[in-house]
Amino acid sequence: MVTAMKILIIEDDADAAAYLVKAFREAGHVADHAADGLDGYAMADAGEYDVLIVDRMLPKLDGLSLIRGLREQGRDVPVLILSALGQVDDRVKGLRAGGDDYLTKPYAFSELLARVEVLARRRRNGPAEETVYRVGDLELDRLAHRVTREGRPVDLQPREFRLLEYLMRHAGQVVTRTMLLENVWDYHFDPQTNVIDVHVSRLRAKIDKGFDRPLIHTVRGAGYTVRDGVR
Amino acid sequence: MTAFAKLLRTTAFKLSLAYLLVFTLFAFFLLAYLAFNARRLIDDQARDAIRLELRQATDQFTAGGPRRLAGYVARRSRQPGGGLYLLIDPTGNAIAGNLTEVEIRRPLGPGEFRVTYHLADAGDEEHRLALINAVELPGGFRLIVGRDLGEEGGLRAVFLNAAGGSVVLVVVLGVLGGIFVTRRVLGRIDAMTDTTRSIMDGNLHGRLAVTGSNDEFDRLAVNLNAMLDRIEELMTGLREVSDNIAHDLKTPLTRLRNDAEQALRTAEGPEDFRRSLDDIIAEADDLIRVFNALLLIARAEAKGEMPAAEPFDLAAVAHDVTELYEPSAEEAGLTVETAIDGPLTVRGSRELIGQAVANLVDNAIKYGAKGHGDGNGDGGAPGPVTISARRLDGKVEVAVADRGPGVPEADRSRVLERFVRLETARTRPGFGLGLSLVAAVARMHGGEFRLEDNGPGLRAVLMLPAEDMSAS
């Protein structure tokens, strides 16, 4: 369902890197590994990668400088920063340096995979955004703020609309709870309890209730995905 | 000797010496000024008297010629009172008076002079000071009238005595006072030094003595004691935190290990293993969450630079969090009410404050839902969770109130500490870090956080400094 991505992992911890390479390959992607900042920079500059995964603390050239260097070269490959530093300002610094996403160690691989797939797809689809999202018989018109299923209008609260919009923009991809909190609510904190699940189940009640084929699916241990159940 | 040397070295003694010098100089100048003015006063009086006499003598001369004047001068010369007279005829002989020209050691022309003299009839050779005035009279006569200035000499002696005496007195009193003050100061300082040394040696409970006189030493001692209180509090806190961390992290670690062991021992088939591994990952995630919260609290408590401080609308954050948690509250059977004024601009980290408000709402939902049948009588649906935000005296107040069992007054400050969970909360999920984090975020932003009685229930109030005082 998701086409294979070419991923470069720049990480000096050999065990962590080996684990990531193996996990991404199992998920059907192509993953290369660079063990220090300079190697990583050379490989990123030469190869056509869909996504870079960059550790912040790297020998020879630190992660943020590497990203800055690539951006100055006009390379717009999406970059996800991995860091043991998880404070608010660290995240801001990372994104300011040209990173597209930021994930704090330790992380769940499912979270990393979901984020990397979203980044890669954003690159492939380019900046042009459709105004109407369609998944099966569900239709979301972003300009008219209207949602219909089987042609019948579905009444959504503004936040529910944004939630569905985000899910449908990444239709077929796994979207994690933290991604939803970050992108739909614009907060990066840990909501502790299952607040996001409750929102999704309410949305699901409006979208899927009374229809044979559910479109919003729970992905165990990862998050949610919107897809037409037939495929 | 060493004690004396120590005394000499003290600031108090040096200050005393400096003051002593200043006062001595002051006394000296004061006396000199008085002496100068007194002398001028005496001179002026003598001058006036001489002028008066000269006028009278001239009148006599005009009325009756030299003979009459000579009689007048002779008469005046005999009267006591310090008057000095000499009338000289055109040939230069003294006609009348109690002075002879020889006695006056100055050549005499017309005008005013300050001279020394000795009286003609007094046998002694004592030179006395006088102020005289000589006038030329018609016909070549000359009249000299003077006043003895003996008083002036006496006055000078008095002033010199006074100056000497007062300097001696000032020096003696100053030295004594200096020694007394220095002794006193040294005593207090020595006491403080001893106390601080004992505190440095590890007696953290030691405090400086406060005499109650409210002098500068007392103020210093009070401040130092406050500092020591804070240090002791921090030390105690640190010890408690490490104890708590040891305990509260070991518990989930043990559980995690047990789960893994259990799975190895008893799991049958991949499904069982999978379930166990899921559990283990969930436990590991919990541990990570605890670590993150602890790091966040530690960073907030270290103050230092505020991360990503920017002005933002707290009312919007309150709305966001409300909206985020509303469905969860409804699931828990609670209604959510809001009373949010806006906009409420504060400066700080939107993320951290958002997290803090979320923690409060999360708590209110978790514990507010416990309202059923715990003494409320009616046993009906628990009261609403109320989220309010408003401007209050230049501050912004966010309050989250519930109708749950609340927190007994005695425990209210305790529950803000890390890992503290009340017995009644033990059955709920959580680590006892939520409120600690809110308190830390409040401190970090120069605000305050407190728990109040909501009668019944708990009202958690977060106060932050408002960014813009004018926009209200």
- Same-domain status, B443 and B389: yes
| Residues B359-403 pLDDT 10s | 888 888 888 775 444 444 444 456 788 888 888 888 888 888 888
Strands (E), B71-127: 83-88, 94-97, 111-117
Average of per-residue pLDDT across B408-427: 67
Lowest mean pLDDT segment, chosen from B87-96, B386-395, B416-425: B416-425
* A106 confidence band (pLDDT: 50, 70, 90): confident
Residues B446, B462: Cα–Cα separation, whole Å? 11
Residue B376's pLDDT is 44
Q: Which of A228, A86, A43 is nearest to B292 (CA)?
A: A86
pTM, to two decimals: 0.62
* Domain A6-125 is found in CATH 3.40.50.2300: yes
Residue B372's pLDDT is 45
Residue B91, SS3 per DSSP: coil
Sort out which chain A residues have CB atoms less than 8 A from B320's CB and list them: 185-187
Contact (CB, 8 A) for A141 and A128: no
The verdict on residue B282 lying in a domain is yes
Tell whether B288 is within 8 A of chain A (Cβ).
Answer: yes
Tell whether B358 is within 8 A of chain A (Cβ).
Answer: yes
Tell whether B296 is within 8 A of chain A (Cβ).
Answer: yes
Cβ neighbours around B63 below 10 Å, total: 10
Closest residue in B to A109 (Cα) is B281
- Same-domain status, B320 and B453: yes
Closest residue in A to B282 (Cα) is A221
Count up the domains in chain B and report the number. Answer: 3
Residue A91's pLDDT is 79
Distance from CA of B410 to the nearest CA of A (A): 27
The whole domain housing B327 covers 310-373+380-465
The verdict on residue B471 lying in a domain is no
- Same-domain status, B259 and B237: yes
Query: Among partner residues B285, B295, B351, which is closest to A189 by beta-carbon distance?
Result: B351
Closest residue in A to B295 (Cα) is A87
Residues B439, B215: Cα–Cα separation, whole Å? 36
Residue B379's pLDDT is 45
Element (H, E) at B355: helix B350-368
| Interface probe with B: pick from A198, A203, A204, A219, most Cβ of B within 10 Å | A198
Peptide bond into B343 cis (omega under 30): yes
Q: Report the percentage of chain B scoring pLDDT > 90.
A: 0
Tell whether B366 is within 8 A of chain A (Cβ).
Answer: yes
Question: Residue B328 and residue A195: Cβ atoms within 8 Å?
Answer: yes
Q: Which of B380, B378, B357 is nearest to B434 (CA)?
A: B357
The verdict on residue B177 lying in a domain is no
Q: Please give the C-alpha separations between residue B116 and each of A139, B45, B78, B92, B248, in angstroms, as whole numbers.
A: 129, 18, 20, 20, 106
Sort out which chain A residues have CB atoms less than 8 A from B328's CB and list them: 193-195, 198
Sort out which chain A residues have CB atoms less than 8 A from B362's CB and list them: 191-193, 195
State how beta strands B448-453 and A79-83 pair: unpaired
Residue B304's pLDDT is 55
- Same-domain status, B287 and B140: no
- Entry field: residues in chain B: 472
- Same-domain status, B225 and B334: no
Residues B50, B43: Cα–Cα separation, whole Å? 10
Q: Which of A183, A156, A200, A155 is nearest to B331 (CA)?
A: A200
- Same-domain status, B274 and B314: no
Contact (CB, 8 A) for B138 and B90: no
Q: Report the percentage of chain B scoring pLDDT > 70.
A: 85
| Six token digits for residue B19 | 């003051």
The verdict on residue B39 lying in a domain is yes
- How far the first Cα of chain A sits from its last, in Å, is 9
Lowest mean pLDDT segment, chosen from A77-81, B11-15, B135-139, B346-350: B11-15
Task: Please say if the pLDDT value at position A229 is more than 70.
Answer: no
Task: Please say if the pLDDT value at position B471 is more than 80.
Answer: no
Q: Which residue has the tokens 């006055």?
A: B155
Residue A231's pLDDT is 45
Residues A141, A156: Cα–Cα separation, whole Å? 12
Residue B421's pLDDT is 65
Lowest mean pLDDT segment, chosen from B117-121, B190-194, B434-438: B117-121
- Same-domain status, B296 and B318: no
* B143 confidence band (pLDDT: 50, 70, 90): confident
Query: Among partner residues B349, B362, B429, which is closest to A88 by beta-carbon distance?
Result: B349
The verdict on residue B294 lying in a domain is yes
| Residues A37-93 pLDDT 10s | 888 888 888 878 889 999 888 888 888 888 888 888 888 888 999 888 766 677 788
Tell whether B247 is within 8 A of chain A (Cβ).
Answer: no
Average of per-residue pLDDT across B222-250: 80
Question: Residue B328 and residue A194: Cβ atoms within 8 Å?
Answer: yes
Query: Among partner residues B278, B289, B365, which is closest to A190 by beta-carbon distance?
Result: B289
- Entry field: residues in chain A: 231
Average of per-residue pLDDT across B162-169: 81
CATH of the domain at B293: 1.10.287
Residue B160's pLDDT is 81
| Residues A117-165 pLDDT 10s | 888 887 766 555 778 888 888 888 888 888 888 888 888 888 889 999 9
Residues A192, A175: Cα–Cα separation, whole Å? 18
Question: Residue A199 and residue B327: Cβ atoms within 8 Å?
Answer: yes
Query: Among partner residues B278, B292, B308, which is closest to A221 by beta-carbon distance?
Result: B278
- Same-domain status, B323 and B261: no
Residues B179, A55: Cα–Cα separation, whole Å? 70
The verdict on residue B194 lying in a domain is no
Residues B109, B143: Cα–Cα separation, whole Å? 10
| Residues B171-201 pLDDT 10s | 888 888 888 888 887 888 888 888 888 888 8
In this predicted model, which residue has the larger pLDDT, A65 or B426? A65
Residues 6 or more apart in contact with residue B262 via CB below 8 angstroms: B276
| Encoded amino acid at A166, one letter | Y
Question: Residue B351 and residue A194: Cβ atoms within 8 Å?
Answer: no
* Domain A132-226 is found in CATH 3.40.50.2300: no
- Same-domain status, B255 and B342: no
Instruction: Specify which of A17-21, A71-75, A88-92, B330-334 reaches the highest per-range mean pLDDT.
Output: A17-21
User: What are the helix (H) ranges across chain A?
Assistant: 14-26, 37-46, 63-72, 88-96, 109-125, 158-169, 177-180, 195-208
Residue A21's pLDDT is 92
Contact (CB, 8 A) for A105 and A19: no
* B429 confidence band (pLDDT: 50, 70, 90): low
Task: Please say if the pLDDT value at position B247 is more than 70.
Answer: yes
- How far the first Cα of chain B sits from its last, in Å, is 70
Question: Residue B281 and residue A108: Cβ atoms within 8 Å?
Answer: yes
> What ranges do the domains of chain A cover?
6-125, 132-226
In this predicted model, which residue has the larger pLDDT, A128 or B15? B15
B28 phi and psi angles, rounded to 5 deg: -60, -50
Q: How far is CA A47 from the centre of its chain?
A: 22
Tell whether ipTM is more than 0.90: no
A27 phi and psi angles, rounded to 5 deg: -80, 5
The verdict on residue B253 lying in a domain is yes
Contact (CB, 8 A) for B170 and B20: yes
| Six token digits for residue A29 | 């992607």
State how beta strands A101-104 and A79-83 pair: parallel
Residue B94's pLDDT is 78
- Same-domain status, B318 and B418: yes
Residues B312, B343: Cα–Cα separation, whole Å? 9
Sort out which chain A residues have CB atoms less than 8 A from B281's CB and list them: 108, 221
- Same-domain status, B149 and B252: no
Residues A91, A100: Cα–Cα separation, whole Å? 11
Residue A80's pLDDT is 92
